[in-house]
Structure 1
Amino acid sequence: MDYGHELQFGVFASPEASRVHETLELAQLADVVGLDLFTVQDHPYNAKHLDTSTLLTAVAARTSAIRVAANVANLPLRPPVGLAKQVASLDIVSGGRAELGLGTGAFWDAIVAAGGERRTPAEAVDALVEAIHVIRATWGQDPQHPGARSVTLGGEHYSVTGMHAGPFPVHHVGIWLGAYRPRMLRVTARLADGWLPSMGYADPEALAAMNAVIDEAAERAGRGPRTIRRMYNVFGSFGTGSGFLRGTADAWAEQLAELTLTEGMSTYVLGTDDPDVVRRYAAEVAPAVRDLVDAERARRAGASANPTTPESTPESTPESTPVSAGESLPDPTPTTRADVSPLIVRPTPDDGVRLSRALPWREDERPVTTKPEGTAYTPAQQAVPQHLVDVHDHLRGELAQLRDVVGQVRRGSLSTGAARSVINTMALRQNNWTLGAYCETYCRLVTGHHTLEDRSIFVHLRGAQPDLAPVIDRLEQEHHVIADVLEQVDDALVGLVGTDAYGRSGQEALDEIQRALDLLTDTLLSHLAYEERELLHPLARHGFG
C-alpha cells in the first residue's frame, strides 16, 4: 500500500579516510542539487574508515539544507548516552538537520576485537530497545516523561540513574532502524520513526511481507502504519540492462514509483560515491519519481472523491456530493452527515511583494468565479485540493532553496571569503555546474507540473464545470508565460558557461540569472496563489479526473 508519505531522496556514501575530500565534495553536491539526505555507514572497527560522527559534523558544516545521519550507527560500540549527546549536538550546530539511523550491530568478531560486547540475537534486540528509551529520555523526548530533566532507567544492558538530560535537539530527531527479522520489525513498529532496510538484505520482492509485520504491530501498538516512514537503501547502475535499477533513468523512476505506490517506500537512499551518478539521480530520477507518484495519487484521490459505479454515482452518493450549508442529507448517519464539513483547505495568500519592475501580465485582468463558501465536502473530497496546495508548497520551497543557491554563488563572486562554505570549497567549474544543474532540475519540475495540469486536470475541469473556462484559459496562458520566463533562466545559465564567475563577465552573467530568477519568482508565486484561489472548490467537487 501507499502510506502517502512525501518522497525523499538521499545518498549513502562510504567514509573511506583516503578519499575524505571527495566525500565532502559529494555531500556539498548532494546539498546543492536538492537531495534530502546524506548518510554514511558506521563501522568503528574498520581501520580504513573515518569516525562517522566526526565526518557527519564536517558534512553539516559544509552544507546548508541536507540532513545527515549514520546509516546505521553501530550500537555495541556507541553507548546510548554518548550517542544521544553526539546526535543532539550535531542537530543543534546544524540547525535541526541531524537524524539517527540505528542498528543492533553485526560482525561480532570485529566488535569484540574493538572492545564491544558479544551479544546473541535476542540480547542485541533487548539492548536496542533499552538504548532507544535511554536516547529519547536523554533528549527530553521520553513519551512517559516529556521534557524531564532527570533520567533514571534500569536495564540489563544500559542503566542510567539520576542523569541530567540534555542537550536537547532542536527538532524531533528521527530514529530509523535497520530491521529484517520479525522481532526487530515489531520493535520498529512500536518505537521507531522509520524503517531503513537495504537491498541485498531485503530485496524488493521481500518488502511486502516485512511491511505487513510492521503494519500489524503498529496497529496493535496504537500507532498506525502511517507513523513509520518506509525508507530503502538502494544500489544500481545507469545503462541499458534489465533488472531493478539497472537501466535508464526513466526505468529507475518507474521502478521506484511502483515501490512507493505498492509497497509504501518513500525515502530512497542511493549507495554511491560517484558524483556523476548523484547528479543524474537528482536531476533525472528524483523529479520523475515525484511526477509519477503525484499523478497516480491525484488520480486515486479523484477516483475516491468521485466514485462512479452503477450502484453509486457522484450525483446520488452523499459521500461524493457537495452539500450546501443547512441542506438536509438523506439518512443522516455518522457516515454521511458527520463526515461532511465546509472546505478547510485555504489558498496560500499572495503577499503582493514583487522583485521585478514589471510583470508580463496584468493581474487585475484575471477572471474570477463565485466561491460557494457554504458548500461542504467529505474528507476524501477535501484531500484533492489539499494535494494541489501540497504540490504548490513543494514548488515554493524548492524555489526558495534555488534562490538561496544563486545568492551563495553571487556572494562568492563578490568576495570568496564572504560566501558560505558550500561555495568556498567548491572548484569554480563545479560551482557553475551545480548552479546550472539545480536551475535545470527546478525548471523541469515546474514544466512537468504545468504539463500535467494542461493535459489532464484542466481538461477534466472544463468538462465538469463549463463556467470555469475563462479561468482555465487564463491559467493556461500563464503557463506559457512562465515557460518563456524559464527559457530566460536557461539562457542566463548558458551565458554563465565559460565565463570567469569572479570577473566582470561572470558577474554580469550572474546578475542576469538573478534578474531572470526574480521574474520567475514574481510570476510563479502570483500564478500559484491565483490558481489556488480559483480551483480549490472545483477540485473538491470534481476531483482531478
Structure 2
Amino acid sequence: MTDYGHDLVFGAVLPAAPQALELAHTADRAGLDLVSVPDHPYRPEFTEAWTTLSLIAARTERVRVFPNVANLPLRPPAMLARAVAALAALTGGRVDLALGAGAYWEAIAADGGPWHSPAVAVEALAEAVGVIRALWTPGGPVHLPGKHYTLDGARPGPPVGNPAIWVGALGPRMLRLTGTHADGWLPSMTRIPPGDLPAANRIIDAAAEAAGRPPAAVRRLYNLSPAALGHPRDWPARLAELALVHGVSGFLLPAGAPDHLRRFAGDTAPAVRELVTAARRRARTTPASSPVGR
C-alpha cells in the first residue's frame, strides 16, 4: 500500500477548442479544483493552449489552470516561466505548469522545432526545469550555462501562488527525472494503466530519495480514461483504490459535456474523498495497518 497522504484534487482535461471556455465555467461552478487543456501547437484545428488557458482563467474564479502538458520543444523554458508568472499575477496564483519532453517530432520539426532523440529530449527537459526554477527564485541576475538552454544575466520574476511543476513521464529516464526534479507526476491511464503504476512509483521514489527528497514530495496525478474505469457508479471505489494503493491524489477527467463535469464534481469527487478519509482514519487507528504516507 502506497498512500503519500496528499489531499485529493479533481479536475478536467478539456478540448482545445472554443467550447472549452463554457466547459471551464461549468467546472469552476461545479467545484472542481483543476482545469487543463492539451498543448499541440502544430495542430491548427486546436485553439492555442496558452491563449485558451488565459481566457479560461479570466472567466473562472477558483479553479487552477495548466497545460496538459506543455510542448517544451516549441516553448522555450524561459518564456514558459514568464508566461506562468504573468498568468499567476493576473489570476491571484491560480496556475500550475505540466511539462512534456516532446512527442510527434515530425510535426514539431515542421513548425521549426528540434527533432530530439529520447535521451536528448530528457536531457533538455532537465535543463528546462532548472531554467524555470531559476527564473522563479528571488535574487539577482541568473547565469545558467546549458547544452540546450542558457541564461546569461536573466532577471528572475517569481510568480504568485507557488505554481507546481508536474512532468508527463513514461519511460524510466523520465520517471527518474520526475523523482529528482519535479513536484508531481502526470501520466495518462491510456499510456500507463493502473497495473504499471507500482513499478513506475518505485522508480520515482528511488530517484527522489537519491536526491535527498521524500517520495511524498512528488504528487501523483492521473489523466483518467472513462472507458477503462467502467460504469460511473464504480468510479468512487476505483479512484479510492488508486489513491490508497498507488498514491494517486489528482484525478483529471477528459470531458466534452457539462453534465460529465457536474457528475464528476458533485457525485464522484465527494464519494472518493469520503472513502479515502475513512480508510486513512482506520490506518491511523489500527496498529497492524500499513503506515500512511512517508
TM > 0.5? yes
Verify the 8 A CA contact 1:137 1:148 in the aligned structure 2.
no
Match of 1:303 among 286, 290, 294: 286
Aligned AA (2:146): G
Instruction: Indicate yes or no: 2:233 matched with 1:219.
Output: no
- Could you tell me how far 1:177 is from its partner in structure 2? 0.1
Aligned AA (1:95): G
Instruction: Indicate yes or no: 2:162 matched with 1:165.
Output: no
Aligned AA (1:245): L
Runs of 4+ deviating beyond 3 Å: none
Q: Residue 241 of structure 2 aligns with which residue? A: 258
Q: Residue 5 of structure 2 aligns with which residue? A: 4
Verify the 8 A CA contact 1:9 1:267 in the aligned structure 2.
yes
- Per the alignment, in what secondary structure is the counterpart of residue 286 of structure 2? helix
Q: Residue 267 of structure 1 aligns with which residue? A: 250
Match of 1:247 among 213, 231, 244: 231
CA distance in 2, matches of 1:275, 1:50: 19
CA distance in 1, matches of 2:286, 2:50: 47
Which protein has the bigger helix share?
1
Q: Residue 97 of structure 2 aligns with which residue? A: 100
Q: Which has the higher Rg, Structure 1 or Structure 2?
A: 1
- Per the alignment, in what secondary structure is the counterpart of residue 135 of structure 1? helix
Aligned AA (1:87): V
CA distance in 2, matches of 1:51, 1:180: 24
Q: TM-score, normalised by structure 1?
A: 0.52
Task: Map residues 436-475 of structure 1 onto 2, 5 A cutoff.
Answer: none
- CA deviation map 1:390-412 (0-9, x unaligned): xxxxxxxxxxxxxxxxxxxxxxx
Q: Residue 232 of structure 1 aligns with which residue? A: 222
- Per the alignment, in what secondary structure is the counterpart of residue 226 of structure 2? coil
- Could you tell me how far 1:121 is from its partner in structure 2? 0.6
Q: Residue 67 of structure 2 aligns with which residue? A: 70
Verify the 8 A CA contact 1:76 1:117 in the aligned structure 2.
yes
Aligned AA (1:205): G
- Could you tell me how far 1:160 is from its partner in structure 2? 1.2
Q: Percent identity?
A: 49
- Could you tell me how far 1:49 is from its partner in structure 2? 1.1
- Per the alignment, in what secondary structure is the counterpart of residue 6 of structure 1? coil
CA distance in 2, matches of 1:163, 1:57: 25
CA distance in 2, matches of 1:33, 1:282: 6
Instruction: Indicate yes or no: 2:145 matched with 1:154.
Output: yes
Verify the 8 A CA contact 1:235 1:272 in the aligned structure 2.
no
Aligned AA (2:283): R
CA distance in 2, matches of 1:161, 1:133: 14
- Could you tell me how far 1:149 is from its partner in structure 2? 2.5
- CA deviation map 1:35-87 (0-9, x unaligned): 00000000110011111111111111111110000000000000011111001
CA RMSD, Structure 1 to Structure 2 (Å): 1.4
Verify the 8 A CA contact 1:84 1:135 in the aligned structure 2.
yes
Match of 1:197 among 176, 187, 196: 187
- Per the alignment, in what secondary structure is the counterpart of residue 235 of structure 2? helix
CA distance in 2, matches of 1:189, 1:46: 31
- Per the alignment, in what secondary structure is the counterpart of residue 245 of structure 2? helix
Q: Residue 269 of structure 2 aligns with which residue? A: 286
Q: Residue 37 of structure 1 aligns with which residue? A: 34
- Could you tell me how far 1:200 is from its partner in structure 2? 1.3
CA distance in 2, matches of 1:69, 1:191: 18
- CA deviation map 1:92-112 (0-9, x unaligned): 101010000000010000000
In structure 2, runs of 5+ residues without a counterpart are: none
CA distance in 1, matches of 2:140, 2:193: 43
Aligned AA (1:295): A
- CA deviation map 1:135-178 (0-9, x unaligned): 111112xxxxxx22211111111111111222x21121100000
- Could you tell me how far 1:210 is from its partner in structure 2? 0.2
Instruction: Indicate yes or no: 2:199 matched with 1:209.
Output: yes
CA distance in 2, matches of 1:183, 1:138: 25
Aligned AA (2:240): A
Verify the 8 A CA contact 1:129 1:187 in the aligned structure 2.
yes
Aligned AA (2:102): G
Q: Residue 167 of structure 2 aligns with which residue? A: 177
Aligned AA (2:167): L
Q: Residue 13 of structure 1 aligns with which residue? A: 14
Aligned AA (2:62): A
Instruction: Indicate yes or no: 2:116 matched with 1:119.
Output: yes
- Could you tell me how far 1:248 is from its partner in structure 2? 3.2
- CA deviation map 1:283-335 (0-9, x unaligned): 1111000010011111111114xx69xxxxxxxxxxxxxxxxxxxxxxxxxxx
Q: TM-score, normalised by structure 2?
A: 0.96
- Could you tell me how far 1:219 is from its partner in structure 2? 1.1
CA distance in 2, matches of 1:171, 1:284: 29
- Per the alignment, in what secondary structure is the counterpart of residue 44 of structure 1? coil
